[in-house]
Chain A
Amino acid sequence: MTAILTNLFDGVAYGMLLFVLACGLAVTLGLMNFVNLAHGAFAMAGGYVCAVLVNRMGWPFFAALPLAFVASAVIGAALERTLYQHLYARSHLDQVLFSIGLVFMSVAAVDYVMGSSRIFIKLPDVLQGQFDIFGVGVGRYRLMIIAICGLLTVGLQLVLSRTRFGSRLRAAVDDPRAASGLGINVPQVFAFTFAFGCGLAGLGGALSAEILGLDPYFPLKFMIYFLIVVTVGGSSSITGPFLASLLLGIGDVAGKYYVPKLGPFVIYTIMIVILIWRPNGLFGRTATR
């Protein structure tokens, strides 16, 4: 029983981590309909910024986290203004090619600057060790991830559904021409949203370094997981990707524990079955394109 509970907890924590990493993609791919396979590269950027600040410059972990967000967001905004914005209207194939190109470039560039070995971020003492609740080992760090993720989910959902910015974004996505006719600055809304999505990825990258490990091949290794979260979850709300992350996290941890022989087989099968059953994702709306 405790083994099941421990697994469940680890699965939830892993799922939440995936959600933090992928919710930026849920915004860019899900809402803006841009197939950005380079999402993991922004996550990696955040992770490395955090690692350099903490390990080399001795910053406290909690001070480095916001900076990881800001750094990735700035990179994202710069790239959006210079490159990405020209590709919104292009075919999905063009977007895929372009973002794969960016991934290849980022892998080689990070390898060049930071070396190819895997690095970890030094955690503060507060986050190390675990609580013992009724015999279930609850890691402090994982608990913190769950807490951060819970706040993010609620916050994002509120921003998208309740605020003026959220409604502007939805309008800009659904019909850019009509939206700009109503006085919405569509390019600005898109740029801000894209940068925000990249920032979230960076935050996720910084948080995930401890659990997933950080090396130059990070964007390629986890690309499929982010994509699964978003395509399986669907794009109409933030709830879809959230539930998909949970499903994926619990499924992956349980799969590795109970049927180690099959490994990632379980996850890919779940994804393919769900996509055949519902091509637009579990909570998706009909595709516009």
Chain B
Amino acid sequence: MTTNAQTDVGFHAKQHGRWHWSEFAFWIVVLAVGLAFPSRYLIMTEILRLALFAMSLDLILGYAGIVSLGHAAFFGVGAYCAGLLSVHGIINEPVLALIVGGLAAMVLGFATSFLVIRGVDLTRLMVTLGIALLMEALAERFSNITGGTDGLQGIDIQPIFGVFAFDMFGRTGFFYSLAVLFVLFLLARTIVHSPFGLSLRAIKNNPLRAAAVGIPVNKRLIAIYTVAAFYAGIAGALFTQTTALASLDVFSFERSADLVLMLVIGGSGYLYGGLIGAAVFRMLQELFQWITPQYWMFWIGLVLVVIVLVGRHRIHAYALWLPNLILKQIAGRKAAVALTDNEAP
């Protein structure tokens, strides 16, 4: 029995980080869609940006179980940081500015993580929300630096590596965003499949038990919160670089709330959830705005209410029904099971 169980554990550890063929297919499809609709670069870039942002929240909510209503704080810091670096011509290399934006958000994430690990869910909600509002208030008050309600003026992003200039069709922006998203996805994938990532899941499932088996709960939560802040900062900097905009609404509550919605649509606790959720959310938004330009918020709200009432897991079970059926036909039962295994419990 013992040997059997041990080999079983070893088998799972090896299996855990291995690429499933459907993942290759996913990224090939993303690239193919990008190449197929050159007239839609702008909205596709937006989806990639949102996907990165959603992945960031997934790291803390889906993997570590930290509820946050203020993730826009880090997004905004990254956005303003990249914008300011460009306006004042401090760092002209976009990739470098991107990383600095992410690091700035990371510093804030590390500083505020100590507040977030205290207390229950409700306290966390309030403290994260409060931090985002604080940042918004600061950005508004120090208008001589941030431009106040008008936003930053004169953001001009230089060509990437001095070669690829940002064009008006958003072509460069799209491939730049895709590259950034893919690199950070690989990093996130490594993190969540590492022993560190597995210990996070243990903490999410039962913090008390995790502490009892010797996992340093608070240290792990601080670490992942800091990493997630870095990701959100990169998403914000990417926003500024691809749109040449940075204004107060990067900190808005709606931005944080929409983000939670994306994650709920796509499913939290597996990395593709955020990516898929961001795409579905943005397309839904586009659809609703097309139907009722002024009142689309109503329909977004209705979607949220229905999702919660029907139950998030049941929705995903429905959504996975067709892919599962197809996979069963192509690759037999194993692949289908693998797809559902990735889903959040």
Interface size on A, residues (CB 8 A): 46
Chain B residues with CB under 8 A of A104: 297-298, 300-301, 304
Give the number of A-B contacts (CB < 8 Å). 137
Contact A86 B137 (CB under 8 A): no
Chain A residues with CB below 8 A from B229, complex form: none
Which residues from B are CB-within-8-Å of A289? 120-121
In which size bucket is the chain B interface?
35 or more
Measured between beta carbons, the chain A residues less than 8 angstroms from B129 are 224, 227
Residue interface mask B79-118, A partner, CB < 8 A = 1: 0000000000000000000000000000000000001001
Contacts of B301 in A (CB 8 A): 100-108
Q: Which of A91-99, A162-170, A184-192 contacts B (4 or more CB under 8 A)?
A: A91-99
Residues B286-330 near A (CB distance < 8 A): 294-305, 307-309, 312
Complex alpha-carbon distance, A265 and B133, angstroms: 8
Closest to B305 in A: A101
Contact for B119 among A90, A94, A102, A279, CB less than 8 A: A279
Minimum Cβ distance to chain A for residue B127 (Å): 6
- Verify B298–A35 contact, CB threshold 8 A: no
Considering the complex, give the chain A residue whose CB is closest to the CB of B308.
A98
Which of B120, B260, B261, B295 has a CB less than 8 Å from the CB of A111? B295
- Residues of B within 8 Å of A106, CB to CB, are 301
Q: Are B67 and A96 in contact (CB under 8 A)?
A: yes
Q: A159 an interface residue at 8 Å Cβ cutoff?
A: no
CB nearest to A220 among chain B residues: B253
Write the chain A residue with the least CB distance to B252. A220
Is A265 a contact partner of B137 (Cβ separation < 8 A)? yes
Bound-state Cα–Cα, A91 to B122, Å: 11
Distance of A83 Cα from B301 Cα, bound (Å): 14
Within 8 A of A (CB), among B231-260: 253-254, 257, 260
Binding site for A on B (CB under 8 A): 61, 67, 69, 115, 118-123, 125-127, 129-131, 133-134, 137-138, 140-141, 253-254, 257, 260-261, 264, 294-305, 307-309, 312
Interface positions of A (Cβ within 8 A of B): 29, 35, 83, 86-87, 90-94, 96-98, 100-109, 111-112, 220, 223-224, 227-228, 231, 261-265, 268-269, 271-272, 275-276, 279-280, 287, 289
